[in-house]
Structures are given as C-alpha cells and as structure tokens.
Structure 1
C-alpha cells in the first residue's frame, strides 16, 4: 500500500483576484461656463465565450468516465467530483478578470494552506484552459491510480490532452517561471496534499479506522435471517455474504465487503459548519453527525409499529413488479410530480398521507399545463410494473454508472445541452460564457454532492441501521404481529395484509411435501433471481413466495449496498441537487417544461427482460426527478420510507446552503 506524505505547508494570506478599475476625472475649465464634455465613445459589446464543449465540460466527462470504471464508492466520488471541480474553478478564477475569489488556491483550511505567489501569467482564456487541463489531469491521475479501470481512465485523459494540444508530460509546478501549465500542476498538488489530511483517510485507501459491525452476517441465498434472530439484534446493519459479490460498478469483490465510509462525517466539508455537527462515541471512536435526524424506529421498542409499517411496505411494493398484472398508470407530469409537503412527523399516520401504501407511489398532484408551452402534458399510460422496474434500474446506478452524485452531473450537463437553455446565472442578467458557466456550476454542484455525502454517511455510520432484506426476513422469522389468536404470533413479527402478506395454510402450494412450511409467512412479491436463467428472455414475475426467501429487485451478486440504510444517500444527493439546480437556473422546471429518458422495450433492464413497452421517464421539475429517484429505492427493495424522508429533508437544506456558499466566491471577499 502506498503511503503519501504531505509536505509542510506554510500559512499565507488568501490571494483574491483584484479588479483594477481606471476612472477618468473631469475638472473645471476655470471660467463660469463648464468645458463641454467629450462625446462618449460607445461601449464595446462584450464578447461572449460560446466555445462548446468548454474545456471544463471535457474534463468533467473524463472524470465521469473514470467514476464509471472505478469501484462503486459514492462518498469517495462525491469528494472527487468536488475537488476536481474546485481545482478547475481555482484555475479559472485566478486567471480571470472576473471579480472572483479562489477556493483552495492561496487560502488556508484548518492546518493546511496552499501558498500562492504573485506571477506574470497573462489573464486570458487560453491560459485558463491550459491551467484547467493540467489541474484536472494531474488530480484524476492521482485519484484513480489504484482503480481497476486505471489503464482505460488514463487512456481517456491522455487522449484529451493530445486533442487539446497540451503536453501531459509537463509536470513542473513552478508557475512563477513556467506559466499556466505549471500553475495547473501546482493547483493539483494543493488538492492532493489537502486531500491527504481532510479526514477521508485517502492515504490508506479510505479504510475504516474505528467502525466495527456488531450484528452477524446475512446470507441471502439461505432462508431467513437466523443470525440476527440468534443475536437478538433486530435493528443493526448486517454485512452481506454472497457466493460471488459484484459491486455496483461491475467489479468482482473478494470476501465480504466492509461498510463503506461509516466515518465520513469527519471529512472536511464545503458549506457545512463543523460546529453544528453532533459528536457521538461508540467503542472509543467519535462519530460526527450533521443534521441529526434522531433514532429511526426500532423493533422491540415502542416504535415497533412504525418499523413494521416501513419494512412491510417495501415487501408490498415488490408485488408491483409483474407487467402481466394488468395495472396501467399515467406516468406523465399530468399525473406525477408536484408533491405536497414532506411528512412533518415520523409516524405511520403522517407517512400514509404521503405514500400510496398499497398502490405504490406518492401523493403526486401533477400539473395542469406545461408552463413553457401553455399546453397540457400528454398522458403516457404504461404498465405500473414497467414504470417501477425502469425507475428502479435507472436510478440504481449499477454497472457503468457514475454513482448517485455523478448521475446528477450527467443530468445537469444534459440540461445545459438543451437547445432552449440560456446561460444566465439564476436565470437573470447577461448571458455568461460557457467556460465561466461550467466551472461555476460544477463547483457549486460538486460542493453540494460532497456535503450530501458527509451528512448522509455520517448518519449511516452512527445509526448503523439495517436494510429491508434483513428486516423483512427477520420479521417473518418471528411470525405475524396482527392477531394473537392466529398461529405464529409475535409482537415484533410482520403485519398481515390481505393480498400481500399472509400465513401459509395446509394445502397451500408453499406448504411443502410434509407441511413443513404451514404457519410460516408468505408474501406476494417479485420471485427473485432464481427464476431468471436468461436475462435476455426471462422475467421473474410476481407470485406468493415464502417471506424467508424475499429478495430485493436486485442482481443475485449484489442484493444491497455495503453500508447502512438510514438515511438514503440517493434521496439526500438528489434533493440537494434538485434544489441547487432550481436556484442555479432560476427555474424549478427543466428547459421546455419537461425532461425525459427513453427506456426501450426489452432493451433497458439489466437482470431480466423488459420493459414490456417503451417507457419514457418524464419530469417537469428538478424536484420531480429527485422524488422519482427516492421512490425507485423503495421499489428496488433498498430503502423503506423512513430512510427516504429524512434524506429528502436534509438534501433540501444542503442544496441552497451549498449554492449560497459557492456564490460567495464569485465576488471577491
């Protein structure tokens, strides 16, 4: 393992970009009649940079390709997106005539300072682009040198350097003598050294330092959840042991994957104030928690009814995943989106007003008209099962994806590519040049995604909450909690629900040859990967299965992410990004009043055939896209609502906070 040691950095007063204004003063001619004022010359029309794609966009695409070919680590990649976006912003800001401050360059954070001396590099776009390229290249080279896709990633980066006409072998950092390329290298060095002391433990490959799981493993290929039952631990996260584990990026992982980033609350944030974090201690290790949502519902306590409602809802929604059930729904913005306020209380009653407990989905109100066209949105009726399956797969961020934070960079780039989009900050004022727009936008979104990771994973690490596959099987192992007069009663068991959750009776096809399963719990749910021999032709479908064999809508080599469920990272990332995009663009709506993604019939789904028809995911607003992302994790069997709602609320706070923080750098402080 390579241990990188940061040199000692000295403190230096932050260097802000200084705008030199020249003014012409007029005096008196000495007589009683003032001298005539000269006829003013017309102001030159500012030249707007329209080069597309900008060099920042090109390097953002290289970074996203790097994430697709690395291990699936959403926390690590949120940090990479932020640091590389910030490095590009610093390179632009310090070589710009705009009244902008740099972020790390010339500034001090904690015990680390990035010195910056005066220089004679000309402030122009050519030098900005050169410095940006070298900063991004060096930082990508450093952050992905352990990646399983390192060779492909660097081939992509090398190719862009060659296309731009830059020398990738120029590694000098003496910018005072050797110009913009050296400045870019120097900026990258600052972020590299800063990253070695920011709390991420990068030099030891982000390994955990204090966290240890205390519930035993779950083996989903075997029935039930006997280890949690034996440990009498109904609430804690369990490592998943599979015969073959392939992470969300498609990499084969040997052994049992550890909890990813349970100590991420210690990582230096962007806009979060460390003073506001709550400190908790367990087994001698401190956990930092921002936006503390409090304890989730626990089985075996007075909050058991909320726990049972949440996890049984995940099982019920699994019953929606069969396109042969004949249920059709309109998935256009006419019917979906425009949600009411999030539940104010964490209670069954409050959540039941927001979620459609049996039918699936939320309390969407839809929209009367598209504000861009003034016309009603056209209906799109599709099988509910196709919508749910596509939603789960689209937002799952599985193989070849950019992970959730990168997914929102892709969506943002798509928005900027829309022919109707205008590059006006907050939707107001003059058009902005493409390079300036991109570096500012990436900087702001990167900061929001980084803070979302710190907040969500700090909560995950401390509360250490289990996933639905653990909870549903555990409750079923205990029995049913609805009626003490019926067989197999346990107050911590799973609630019965006609048509969804029931007891196995004698004569039931699930009873077994010797009635060995009579009295057990059965659920109507997706039958699981055992029913898929050929992903190109087979559909597992939905039927009554023993609850001890319940499986989330996931691959057999994955099952659930290797970290606690509470709170949902997808919900936190997505709502933060949606709020930021709303502020950045000056509109809640996608350009043209709607964005969409086409999932082609029998081509889109990864681990079973489908969808049975073309499904077009449509969102009127950025919040609507975020809300669909959150629902996807319930249909996918990854999160219950109690993971979702706190994530949305925290993202709702982080997005505007990060945007305001980013804007504070766009004028010299």
Structure 2
C-alpha cells in the first residue's frame, strides 16, 4: 500500500484522478489507530479547523524538519479551510476559489466542507512523508471521528463534501505549478555550494574556499531537528530557490530578481548584503561571529551568575534592537511582575533548546501556530477582530487566524529563503573555525596575527602561549604533548559533545578549548541547520507571527499580560542534563517572545546579530502585509488569486556575480 501511494506521488497524475484512486488506497488504511494526531485538541471543545490544524502539526512532527515546506503546508491547509468557510459567508472572499453556497445552511455543512478539503489536501501532501503510516491513518481516524466517509472522493455536485474535494483539487493543482518543485520532492534544481564540506569532528576548517559563503557539513550521520535520520551525512542546502515560490501577500514591488550562473534568484524585501570578511562590513563580521563564540561561554549554570528572567527585567524592546529593560508593571493587569531568579546558564540553555524547535518539532512556523492556539484557548481572550466589533465564534476566529498566520509564515519562508539562497551566507561554526585557524586580528605586533583572524578578548579569547600552557596554566591541557598547539587560539566556551557520555546525567560545562574545536550548542548529529544563515528564519518567522497576533487580537500582549512555558528541572534539555532548576520562560507581549527567540539563536551558536536584526525588520513588514490581506478577504475586499507565477513584471532586475 505504501508503495502504491509513493507511485501516485511521483507520477504526473492530475489530482482529480488521485481523488478517484484514493478511495481504493484508503481501504487499506482503516486499521486500528496508532497515531497521536489531534490529541492536543478535544473535538468537544475545539472547532473543526482547530482539529485539522492539530492533525497537520502532528504530521509535521513526524516528517523531516523542513520549515519552508511546512510553512507552505500550513498556509495551504489554512487556505483550504478558509475557502471552505467563506463559501457559506455572504461577504467573505476565498483565496483561490470563490464558491457560493447557501449561507442559510447549518454549521454542519460548513464543517463537512472544511474537513473534506483538509483531508484530501493533507493525504496528498504527506503520502511520501517518513511518518506517512501514522499521519495518513490519523487523517482517516479524524474523518471517522467526525462522522465523515473518507472514501467519498467525488467532486461533482453541490454537496458539502464535493465542494471540499474541489477546493482540495484546486490547491493540489496549484501546488504543482507554484515553484516549490513538489513532484521532485522539493529538490534543488540548480544551486551548487561554493565551499567543500566542513567535517566538524576534525579540528579547524581547512577546506573552505570562501569565508563569506555557506558551507555544507559532513557528518557520520545527520539527524534533523525533527529527529529523523537522513540517508546521507551531508545534507544539501534546503530550499535555496524558494524565493520563486508563489507567495500570499508579497507583491512585485517587494521583489528583486538577481541573476547568477545563468539562473534567476528571486528576493523579496531585499535587506541588502550581510557583512563580509575582507570587504564591506569586515569589522561587523568579526564582531558578530565573535559574539556567538563569547556567548557560548555563558552556558554554565554553575558559574554563580543569577539573573531575573521575568518580564520585570526583560523585553519591551524597540523594533530591531535589544534596548528593552522589561516592564515596570503588567500592561494588562497593572500589577508588578514577580521576579524569577535563575542561574543565567540555565536560562540561556533553555532558551536555545525551546526555540530551536527540535527534536520532534513542528518547525518554527508550526511553533507559532501552537502559540496562536494557546492564545485562542485562553479564557481572557475576546475573539474580536482587531479587538473591536462583534465577537466571533470559535470556527470563524480559527479560520481567520490560520489564514493570516499561515499566509505570513509562508511569505516569510519565500522571502527569507530567497535571501538565504541569493546571499548564501556562512554559518558560525564555519566562520569561527576559519578565523581561529588564521589566528588573532587584534594586535598586529602580537603572536599569531592575521588580518582575517578572530579578535582577542582577555579571559575569553587568547593565544596559547608557552607561559599559559605551562603546567598549572589555564591552557596547559590545550598545548599538546609536544607543545604543537602553542600559538593557536584558545576560547572559553561550551566544551561540546565530547564531554557528554550520557545526556540524561552529563553536562558539558564551559571551559578553555582550542577554538578549532568549537561546537555550537547543538546535538553532534545536527550541529547547524542545512541552509545559509542570512537572514535568520527564526527572527523573521517570529516577528511576523507576533505582528499577526497583535493585529488580530487588537493587543500586543498575551492574554492577561503573560505567556509562559515551563521547563522542569533536569527534564527539559535534550543533549545534556538540565536545567539545574525549574525555569519558566515568560513574556508580556508577542514581540517579547519573538525577540527572545531571535536571541536564542546566538546562544545556540546558530546566528550572529547580522542575521537576526534584518530578519526582524523583514518579519514586521511581511506580517503586516499578510494580516492586511487576510482581513481584506474577511471583509470581502480582496481579489481571487491564481498561481502567482506572473509576479515578475514590475520587479527590480539586477545582474550580479
């Protein structure tokens, strides 16, 4: 049965034929359920749209960690459910279909249309997933639980089920022509890396050709952020050509089309180039990647540093900065926030792990759907669009929220991965090791000087000298048996996976290491996401999502002025033991959560500030575009969208490299 599904996926059949064949396939899927899909939502308490959103989030957790692909899946499911809902509303307009059903029909008809549209689309999309056995079964289970026949595939007539099947058919058809290369497994068509792979288990970075371009990693085996092993230990760049995928709200005026190597590179909301070593922004390059190395040295919960991580001391930043010093009082209740003092190293580690979205993750765009669902469940939320007007029912609120958030997350994937593909920027592990291989760049008269070296920081980044490597010296363990490492760079940082034998009991800690052996705060089977760093997807996704939630709810604040996530002592961290105390992440506003997510990537060794801030600015613009367009659909003032592939007229065109 699985082979049959895979053959359908790779054969260029029309979705209408797929729907006809699916009835035969589904007969073999109706077996006792083993899936966890939809468990977080109770069908007696949540809308049908929420149930299908939860089913998709669980399917994402069982798939490869592909944030671009799953941002698109979240968006397309949101469109399917929105168009199904809008068909029964006399004012609202669909995104890709404009069916008009009798608005007097009861809510059950609308729920049935939504379910058939969601079921057909998700069954198509996850037929080749590594978790297909569980995911496809979970979709069948949900249909049966809701009282629908999963074997009904007809698109003829005006029944709610047939309309749902037609909506799914249109989306599947569009998905084959939207630039995502779905039928070829979303594979790359022309991108080639500029650098040979880095082998992190070996010291240094001797194979790099261009220290300003992305470098693949070669591992014995690679386990992605969803906990899925890939067939090769050298994963290719994920979605470098994604800028050409059909967006939701991005416009030709936002687009610049570059040319390189005879191919087009589509970039929306172009932030301009990142800082380059040996070129424009040399000092910023060194400072940014040095900051990542230095912050790695803050991940020790035993160093005695205690900080207040409550909103009383953190958050309230100006957009594009980290200038906030917290909130004097809860902006919703007017009461002061209770302080929460914890070891700084525990907070930074929890931060890095929570926002890393792995393992078993719904990926960053899905993470913000879980936050949106938390907000929707809160008894303090009033479901009024932009905080005013009539209260919305659960289903109406959910489909509108999902359309706005799904459109924003998809457009972030299109825009930020377009930037990633064009600028093709280096990651910290490659840059830090490269600079340290060269030496130090602070003192031209000092030992081991090189203009492309890392700047020295006394007590944190130093040259291993005969004196510091003498018995009892701080670098004695780094010099080598015959002093062969004297003159290399020592770094006080998180010591890495070699110091962890049992993640449930061991902590690597912080200490002096040779900088050529630096690791980000990640699993040794993952190390760094397999795509370029600039711009940060986490920063862009998070700021866009925060803006969507702010606009829709009419308030920048979590209900009650407090959002929380609890990380229990010695139970939360994945690749080392910890935290050493209970840690509860807290945010007053959606923007505070987004900014904390951005900073977490520096602590995790994944991004420098140069990746972060432009992503926040892009996210703010994209979030506003997406929510504004979603509200136009809600108010009946939008136009029907096609596949969007005519979006290049009006774009800026530039030829580079």
Which of 454, 470, 480 lines up with 2:430 in the alignment?
Answer: 470
Q: Which residue of 2 is the match for residue 91 of structure 1?
A: 84
Segments of structure 2 that go 5 or more residues without pairing to the other structure are: 1-6, 17-42, 638-657
> Hey, what's the Cα distance between the residues in 2 that align with 1:7 and 1:443?
23
| Aligned with residue 52 of structure 2, among 48, 54, 59 | 59
Scaled by the length of structure 2, the TM-score of the pair is: 0.89
1:248 aligns with 2:240: no
Correspondence list, 1:152-191, <5 A: 152-176=134-158, 179-191=159-171
Tell me the SS of whatever aligns to 1:226. coil
2:402 to 442, 446, 452: 442
Q: Shift of residue 425 of structure 1?
A: 1.1
Please state how far the C-alpha of 1:120 moved relative to its aligned partner.
6.6
Shift of 1:412: 0.4
Q: CA-to-partner distance for each residue in 1:509-544, whole Å, 9 max, x for gaps?
A: 111111101010010000001100001100000000
Match of residue 23 from structure 1? none
Q: Distance in 1 between matches of 2:426 and 2:102?
A: 57
Aligned to 1:425: 385
Deviation at 1:591, TM superposition (A): 0.3
- What is the CA–CA distance in structure 2 between the aligned matches of 1:282 and 1:518, rounded to whole Å? 43
Whether 2:354 is the aligned partner of 1:394: answer yes
Q: What's the counterpart of residue 19 of structure 2? A: none
* Corresponding residue number in structure 1 for 2:536: 568
Please state if 1:226 is matched with 2:226: no
Determine the structure 2 residue equivalent to 1:633: 601
For residues 488-567 of structure 1, the aligned pairs below 5 Å read 488-506=448-466, 507=470, 508-509=475-476, 510-567=478-535
Q: Does residue 460 of structure 2 align to residue 460 of structure 1? A: no
- Equivalent pair of 2:319/2:616 in contact (CA under 8 Å): no
Given candidates 320, 331, 345, the residue that maps to 1:385 is 345
Partner-residue secondary structure (3-state), 2:46: coil
In 2: Cα distance, 1:499 partner to 1:487 partner: 17
Q: Give the 3 Å change call, closer, same or farther, for CA 7–631 of structure 1 in structure 2.
A: closer
Between the aligned partners of 2:495 and 2:11, the Cα distance in structure 1 is 47
1:665 aligned residue: 633
What CA distance in whole angstroms lies between the structure 1 residues aligned with 2:449 and 2:101? Answer: 77
1:407-426 CA-partner distances (Å, limit 9, x unpaired): 00000000111121111111
Deviation at 1:282, TM superposition (A): 1.2
Residue among 77, 89, 96 paired with 1:104? 96
The Cα of 1:163 is off from its aligned counterpart by 1.0
1:252 to partner: Cα distance: 0.7
- What residue ranges of structure 1 are gaps of 5+ in the alignment? 9-49, 107-115, 343-353, 355-361
- Using the TM superposition, give the Cα deviation of residue 122 of structure 1 relative to its aligned residue in structure 2, in angstroms: 5.9
Cα distance between partner residues in 1 of 2:343 and 2:103: 60
**Structure 2 counterpart SS, 1:246:** coil
Structure 1 residue ranges, 4+ long, deviating more than 2 angstroms after superposition? 3-8, 118-124
Distance 1:397 1:163 in 2: 30
Q: 1:372 deviation in Å?
A: 2.5
Q: Which moved more, 1:267-276 or 1:280-289?
A: 267-276
Task: Give the Cα separation in 2 of the matches to 1:373 and 1:436.
Answer: 28
* Alpha-carbon distance in 1 for matches of 2:633, 2:167: 17
Query: How far apart, in 2, do the equivalents of 1:214 and 1:311 lie?
Result: 20
Q: What secondary structure sits across from 1:278 in the alignment?
A: strand
Deviation (angstroms), 1:363? 2.8
Does residue 216 of the first structure (1) align with residue 196 of the second (2)? Answer: yes
The question of 1:235 aligning with 2:212 is answered: yes
Q: Which stretch of structure 1 is more off in the superposition, 299-308 or 316-325? A: 299-308
How far apart, in 2, do the equivalents of 1:173 and 1:500 lie? 66
- Secondary structure of the residue aligned to 1:245 is coil
Matches of 1:59 and 1:302, distance apart in 2: 48
Q: Are the counterparts in 2 of residues 581 and 622 from structure 1 also a CA contact under 8 Å?
A: yes
Residue 413 in 1 paired to residue 373 in 2?
yes
1:272 aligns with 2:250: yes
The match for 2:332 is: 372
d(CA) in 1 for partners of 2:458 and 2:105?
71
CA contact (8 A) 1:96 1:128 kept: no
Bigger Rg, which one: 1
Rounded Cα–Cα distance in structure 1 between residues aligned with 2:327 and 2:301? 27
Deviating more after overlay: 507-516 vs 235-244: 507-516
Deviation, structure 1 residue 160: 1.0
Deviates more, 1:418-427 or 1:445-454: 418-427
Cα distance between partner residues in 2 of 1:547 and 1:635: 17
- Tell me the alpha carbon deviations over residues 206-259 of structure 1, each in whole angstroms, 9 at most, x when there is no partner: 11111111111101000000001xx3x111101100011101111111222110
Corresponding residue for residue 618 of structure 1? 586
Distance across 1 between alignment mates of 2:381 and 2:136: 32
Residue 324 (structure 1) aligned with residue 302 (structure 2): yes
Alignment match of 1:585 (pick from 553, 576, 581):
553
Map of 1:308-347 to 2, 5 A cutoff? 308-342=286-320
* Partner in structure 2 of residue 68 of structure 1: 61
Q: 1:622 offset after TM fit, Å?
A: 0.2
- Figure out how many residues of one structure are paired with residues of the other and give that number: 594
Tell me the CA shift for residue 5 of structure 1: 4.5
User: 1:431, CA displacement in angstroms?
Assistant: 1.1
- 1:275-286 alignment runs, 5 A limit: 275-286=253-264
For 2:346 and 2:179, how far apart are their aligned partners in 1?
43
Could you tell me which of 75, 78, 84 is aligned with 1:82? 75
SS of the aligned residue for 1:665 comes to helix
Q: Contact conserved, 2:319 with 2:617, CA < 8 A, in 1?
A: no
Q: Structure 1 residue 291 and structure 2 residue 299: aligned?
A: no
SS at match of 1:545: strand
Distance in 2, matches of 1:150 and 1:585, equals 35
Shift of 1:657: 1.0
SS for the counterpart of 1:548 is helix
1:3 to 5, 8, 11: 11
Provide the rounded CA distance (Å) in 2 between the counterparts of 1:581 and 1:407. Answer: 13
Deviations 1:174-217 (A, max 9, x none): 133xx101111111011000100011111111111111111111
Q: Name the TM-score, length of structure 1 as normaliser.
A: 0.87
Relative distance call for 1:493 and 1:642 in structure 2 (3 A) is same
